[in-house]
Structure 1
Amino acid sequence: MFQHTVRAPALFAGVGVHTGAYTRVNVRPAAVGAGIVFVRTDVRDRDNLIPATGEAVCKTQLGTVIGNAAGVTVSTIEHLMAAFAMLGVDNAIVEVDGPEMPIMDGSSLPFVRILDRAGLRPQEAARNYIEILDTVEVIDGDKRATLKPADGFEVAFTIEFPTAAIGRQAIDMAMDEQAFRDELADCRTFGFLSDVEALRAMGLARGGSMENCVVIDDDRVLNPEGLRRPDEFVRHKALDAIGDLYVLGGPVIGRFEGVLAGHGLNNALVRALLARPDAWRVCTLAEELREAV
């Protein structure tokens, strides 16, 4: 029912999957109502604060990038944001000394462990939830992302790829902290070997490897250890969506449905919801309990 921040600073470091840049991160406690704010500590000649909001998302090609009016950006925030969302971190300052968050092992699990070690501290204010009151949907050809009213947070996702390594996969589950820890947090990002050269020519995937990505070649998974789960691919897409939704500024009470969706459509859905003030409201569990009584 209460807002939380980290109890102690959480430090970690690693390479960015796209830039290949080695960056260090310090997640520090923040005040009530601060939300999640990224700070580019290597930028000193202009505004280096970037609040993680729906409007701040400025690029969504193979990851979520946020930026401010001064043109300062931080990329690939979604895996940390998913951990924040599901562990219940409402307020935090994320200091990063480079352009991209470390990819770690390609999942949210390292961030979950880092936050567990730091611990969380309750704050003297009610947690704000984003309650979905009416269906909002965005469609792009055969791709679709939807938010619908529900009693709790639910996530459904469907993907389909023309390779026997993936094929058609779908999940549909009620989502809370324990479900995230048990079912989604360890699911890694994935990519195709055939795309690597083209991506690197575009300045992407320069830090990608089988240490931080499930790599597919034709119908085979190349990683020697194989998959962590038979449907790891669709589960990772659900993880991404949870992180992308957390730029709304609070955990969602509603049902998310994604069909062949990615970061771009997830953010289009966030913006469509924000443009429909009649379709959602900010509430607290204390309000919900009073109304129930």
Structure 2
Amino acid sequence: MVIGMLGFQTTVARPVELSGVGVHSGLPVSIVFNPAEPDTGVVFHRMHASGEVTELRAVSSQVGNTDLCTVLGFNPARSVATVEHVMAAVYAMGLDNVIIEVTGAEMPIMDGSSAPFIDAIEQVGLVSLGVKRRYIRVLKPVRIEQGGSWSEFRPYDGTRFEVEIDFDCPLIGRQKWEGDLTAQTFKKELSRARTFGFMRDVERLWASGHALGSSLENSVVIADDNTVINVEGLRYQKDEFVRHKTLDAVGDLSLAGAPFIGCYRSYRGGHRMNANALKALLSDPTAYEVVETSTPRQRVAPRDFIAVAAPEFAPWSA
């Protein structure tokens, strides 16, 4: 089953607002999801105090290099950071067209997962715009490798993720999540998985001016003795870690500009591997086709498609 509403483009039924703090800046920030016309795509509007608005399209060509999160834009004064959890929710719920207004330089971290953004979308609901959605259909395997890590796309009749991680940490170790992506699956099995990190890294991040908004309310923190500091423990038994990495992969691949029909697999991947695999796919015109339905009956001209090759992401993110 391919995500979405019967293959037609959607938008939110009415505006909905969320407020929180930025995980790196620690500053308060609000966002508003606004309805948009067909073929608008996902567009961020950074609202400046001067009244000026910086528009940033959520496509891979707009991603700037960064060490800790996914940033849209190349000038810090006109960029929007930490968009990955929002984009995962937008993609998985089949929300094609939305203008997201943001009052600060990064998205609110909320509880460190995509669940609050899912709740906001469901609060107002989606409406069909009566215009067919475009998909990327994977036609042949495309694989990249780096050291002991690899990522690949493979043809598949649906949208599937198979993500495996392998950490030198007894608490995490080797974990794998695999499944077909639907709005229901994402909501139940992935959306509540939180970002995670190690206590030993906190002081280094603080010293560099990052993670100033990080707390036990929005991150799973692993102590030096390989235990979870958070009183509530893990939300998904012991594999919340790989579920969050899968959530991140969903957000990263959403920057192709359209949902893909195929299977995405990775081992010891991350944002850099996800982005490079997407770049490899889109740079080979024989590896994919752009279609307007989830079946191979109708192909459309790639010139009208907004997917572009992605620059490298950083290896870690929120």
Partner of 1:231: 239
Q: For 1:59-90, what per-residue CA distance to the aligned partner results, in whole angstroms no more than 9, with x for missing partners?
A: 24232111167962111111111111111100
* Pick aligned residue for 1:171 from 177, 184, 188: 177
* Pick aligned residue for 1:207 from 213, 234, 243: 213
Structure 2 distance, partners of 1:212, 1:64, is: 17
Partner of 1:263: 271
Kindly state the Cα deviation for residue 288 of structure 1 after the two structures are TM-superposed: 3.6
SS in 2 for 1:247: helix
**Does the aligned pair in 2 maintain the 1:60–1:264 contact within 8 Å?**
no
Question: What 5-or-longer segments of structure 1 have no aligned partner?
Answer: none
Name which of structure 1's ranges 100-109 and 43-52 shifts more when overlaid on structure 2: 43-52
**Does the aligned pair in 2 maintain the 1:86–1:176 contact within 8 Å?**
yes
**Does the aligned pair in 2 maintain the 1:38–1:94 contact within 8 Å?**
yes
TM-score, normalising length from structure 1? 0.94
Structure 2 distance, partners of 1:20, 1:160, is: 30
Name which of structure 1's ranges 35-44 and 226-235 shifts more when overlaid on structure 2: 35-44
Partner of 2:90: 84
Q: For 1:239-281, what per-residue CA distance to the aligned partner results, in whole angstroms no more than 9, with x for missing partners?
A: 0000110011111111111211111221222222221222112
SS in 2 for 1:221: coil
**Does the aligned pair in 1 maintain the 2:135–2:294 contact within 8 Å?**
no
SS in 1 for 2:211: coil
Partner of 1:247: 255
Kindly state the Cα deviation for residue 232 of structure 1 after the two structures are TM-superposed: 0.3
AA aligned to 1:126 is: K
Q: Determine whether 1:138 maps to 2:144.
A: yes
**Does the aligned pair in 2 maintain the 1:5–1:89 contact within 8 Å?**
yes
Change over 3 Å in CA distance of 1:254–1:287 after alignment to 2: closer
TM-score, normalising length from structure 2? 0.87
Partner of 1:23: 29
Q: For 1:165-217, what per-residue CA distance to the aligned partner results, in whole angstroms no more than 9, with x for missing partners?
A: 21111112111111111111111110100001111222221110110000001
Kindly state the Cα deviation for residue 129 of structure 1 after the two structures are TM-superposed: 1.0
**Does the aligned pair in 1 maintain the 2:17–2:31 contact within 8 Å?**
yes
Name which of structure 1's ranges 122-131 and 41-50 shifts more when overlaid on structure 2: 41-50
**Does the aligned pair in 2 maintain the 1:62–1:263 contact within 8 Å?**
no
SS in 1 for 2:69: coil
> What is the percent sequence identity of the aligned residues?
42
Partner of 1:283: 291
Change over 3 Å in CA distance of 1:290–1:248 after alignment to 2: closer
Partner of 2:68: 62
Kindly state the Cα deviation for residue 147 of structure 1 after the two structures are TM-superposed: 1.2
Equivalenced residue count is 291
Q: Which runs of 4+ in 1 moved over 3 A?
A: 43-47, 68-71, 286-291
SS in 2 for 1:112: helix
SS in 2 for 1:94: strand
Structure 2 distance, partners of 1:288, 1:279, is: 14
Q: For 1:23-43, what per-residue CA distance to the aligned partner results, in whole angstroms no more than 9, with x for missing partners?
A: 110110111001000010116
- Which runs of structure 2 are paired with 1:191-202 in the superposition (5 Å)? 191-202=197-208
- Please report the RMSD computed on the Cα atoms of aligned residues, expressed in angstroms: 1.8
Structure 2 distance, partners of 1:287, 1:228, is: 36
Change over 3 Å in CA distance of 1:45–1:215 after alignment to 2: same
Q: Determine whether 1:153 maps to 2:159.
A: yes
Kindly state the Cα deviation for residue 51 of structure 1 after the two structures are TM-superposed: 0.2
Question: What 5-or-longer segments of structure 2 have no aligned partner?
Answer: 1-6, 300-318
Q: Larger strand proportion, structure 1 or 2?
A: 1
**Does the aligned pair in 2 maintain the 1:150–1:255 contact within 8 Å?**
yes
AA aligned to 2:215 is: S
* Pick aligned residue for 1:124 from 130, 138, 144: 130
Change over 3 Å in CA distance of 1:45–1:28 after alignment to 2: closer
**Does the aligned pair in 2 maintain the 1:50–1:68 contact within 8 Å?**
no
Structure 2 distance, partners of 1:91, 1:60, is: 26
Structure 2 distance, partners of 1:49, 1:290, is: 32
**Does the aligned pair in 2 maintain the 1:30–1:93 contact within 8 Å?**
yes
**Does the aligned pair in 2 maintain the 1:132–1:280 contact within 8 Å?**
yes
Partner of 2:18: 12
Structure 2 distance, partners of 1:116, 1:51, is: 23
